[in-house]
Structure 1
């Protein structure tokens, strides 16, 4: 069973990887769950807490639906790599001139990463769409860069074409750290302006202090259907199997193939 956190409990909830956080009952921004969890903005792909004007970023919630073919955000769960596209998604604006300030945050974070000034880079909390109303799935805490990607490739400005007009946007690469649970107490610490407390995940502290990444990697399990699960359960599926058997009766290796089919 999925771990589903009720909307009314979000304000005091920890962030647990792969847990579902329920959206509110209304179909408007008041139903947003990410802002309840992080005390940040309640709209857009970048949900920033802190000052954009002075670049004093405290944290950022990142939201992705993972299904946009034009902007194919992707989480590689085997390697802990998270690929995310910026917020300049239409023509007529300069690359960094976005209303929500997401691309400004990206260039700031990656520049500071490359300068070795990781202490001013805010933690990024990644959420994806669950498929049900405004519910979201917590995917983990992320930091810019990845051990398999060099600094010339972790943030790239790419050209796109929309309605016959060209424009640029960022493609960024993050690492989701090997942290299973984020304490709500740490979110409160960050909100008060101090991320470096005993409540902070040690993996995040290690990255800030040393630049070493500890990605959240997951080995894909091999899943085989049982014999019972492979038996057709409807007349249509049974007819498909019978058609396959009939077709291969005249195949040069039909007897061998049919014996393999009949074993199941």
Structure 2
């Protein structure tokens, strides 16, 4: 359902809030919904960039910028947001002071004493229909498993002209608050978010003691369709095509590439061995994956199967069963493919609870784009392998 009277309603998680249909900036529902400004991803009410003078913030993302891949993990309640620096220069010199606000918010969050004032942060995502927005939840800076050195980090990027610059990558937690009442929104607008009788308890618990209560949502279906496993744009399809073309005439060489790809996803792979073609026994590689840190860590064995297929050729039941049948007790499997796992094989995998990680063509494309940027840099990486 689309709510078309935003200035009168509560905010419900995952509900869509619509504006007008004029085809211009007036379609934006956020000014009516929250009295914030329009036209930017990082909206504010109050005086920026200081925390004490901000009344509320609205973070809006379209989730479609491959170079700056904002993401919401609904299972963990973690939201990743990239700042507004898009070119070389001072990290904090941006037109709307978005990165300054990020820095100040996280500085305040790292102060574990009670905050007498803190602006609520409301997350919204584009729906692709006019300027309608989906409310994603109430967020706070940081996460329960991250320290102050990890929740706001400056990451390096490279322009098309090969010039390096930095931008912020911020980690937020979406709190277990299903509804933001209109009464609390009115108190936010008056600058009384913390003292309001309508402020939700999980948010107050964080403000007073930095206690995280994430909104976690378990998926009802873990079986990804063909379209969910493959790249969904021509740009991303080019990355998979590059890898496939590079190795299609020698699938055994792809096994080493597949292990390097797996290491991009599973960074704690410690050591591995590519098995000989005539002795692999259903496993193209075996290795160790480290869980934990220091003297208390353990190494878990894994086996990997690699399939360099065109995107119109599925990995079927036979290939998956071959890998599963070779997994020993306390091992897990990794299937790396430039294609996808067909529906029957995926269904059997999930229903039977086999410990196999699926890395499909769409997964590879996104990772390579985010890691290396241009196709030329991916090609250099492949040649080095």
Q: Which has the higher contact order (CA 8 A, sep 6+)?
A: 1
Correspondence for 2:166 among 165, 168, 185: 168
Q: Which of 179, 182, 187 in structure 1 is aligned with 2:180?
A: 182
Structure 1, unpaired ranges of 5+ = 225-243, 249-259
Q: 2:61 aligns with which of 59, 64, 78?
A: 64
Secondary structure of 1:120's match?
coil
- Match of 1:71, SS state, is coil
Q: Deviations over 1:99-158 (max 9, x none)?
A: 111111100010111122544332110000111110110000000001122221000011
Does the Cα contact within 8 Å between 2:49 and 2:100 map onto a contact in 1? no
Structure 2 unaligned regions, length at least 5: 224-312, 318-343, 346-385
1:87 corresponds to which of 77, 84, 88: 84
Task: Give the direction of change, closer, same or farther, for the CA distance of 1:38–1:161 in structure 2 (3 Å limit).
Answer: same
Give the total of aligned pairs.
224
Contact 1:81–1:173 under 8 Å retained in 2: yes
CA contact (8 A) 1:47 1:62 kept: yes
Aligned residue in 2 for 1:229: none
Task: Tell me, yes or no, if the aligned pair for 1:75 and 1:83 is still in contact at 8 Å.
Answer: yes
Q: Does 1:127 align with 2:124?
A: yes
Aligned to 2:141: 144
Tell me whether 1:192 sits opposite 2:190 in the alignment. Answer: yes
- State which of 91, 96, 99 in structure 1 corresponds to 2:92: 96
User: Runs of 4 or more off by more than 4 Å in structure 1?
Assistant: none
Distance (whole Å) between structure 2 residues aligned to residue 42 and residue 69 of structure 1: 23
Instruction: State the alpha-carbon separation in 1 of the partners of residues 121 and 174 from structure 2.
Output: 9
Task: Indicate the residue corresponding to 1:74 in structure 2.
Answer: 71
TM-score with structure 1 setting the length: 0.80
CA RMSD of aligned residues (A): 2.1
